[in-house]
């Protein structure tokens, strides 16, 4: 009987099947990821996000002083006048340098600064 059980054990252990473990990415940005998971991932991220943005781009509305200068098309001809001016929460400093016309925009409330350089 011992030999019979040993024989069955050896027979079935050599015939047993195994399965290869394969990594399949979930994120659709990776190659091979399922493209239908994009909406699920975005909804999961939005559900976990506790940040609420109440500004609704108010800062762009306060930049009305630049409207008369050609919108977003700055050139030497339609650039703002040189000097310093304040409009709402922003201070604008315009001066000419060797690299071109420089416009420094400073948010007085937050202290954030942006520099726009119009080359010669």
- Regarding pTM above 0.75, the answer is no
Buried-state track 25-64, b at ≥16 Cβ within 10 A, e below 16: eeebeeeeeeeeeeeeeeeeeeeeeeeeeeeeeeeeeeee
Query: pLDDT tens per residue, the chain (120 residues)?
Result: 888 888 877 777 655 566 777 777 777 666 666 777 778 788 888 888 888 766 655 555 555 555 554 455 556 666 667 888 888 888 889 888 888 888 899 999 999 999 988 887
The strand pairing partners of 95, in sequence order, are: 102
């Amino acid at each position: 009987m011992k030999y019979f059980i040993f024989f069955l054990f050896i027979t079935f252990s050599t015939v047993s099947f195994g399965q290869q473990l394969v990594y399949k990415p979930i994120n659709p940005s990776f190659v091979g990821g399922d493209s239908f998971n994009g909406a699920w991932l975005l909804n999961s991220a939005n559900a976990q996000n506790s940040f609420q943005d109440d500004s609704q781009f108010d800062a762009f509305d306060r930049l009305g002083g630049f409207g008369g200068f050609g919108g977003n098309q700055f050139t030497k001809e339609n650039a703002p006048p040189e000097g310093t001016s304040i409009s709402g929460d922003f201070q604008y400093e315009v001066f000419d340098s060797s690299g071109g016309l420089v416009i420094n925009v400073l948010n007085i409330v937050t202290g954030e600064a942006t520099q726009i350089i119009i080359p010669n």
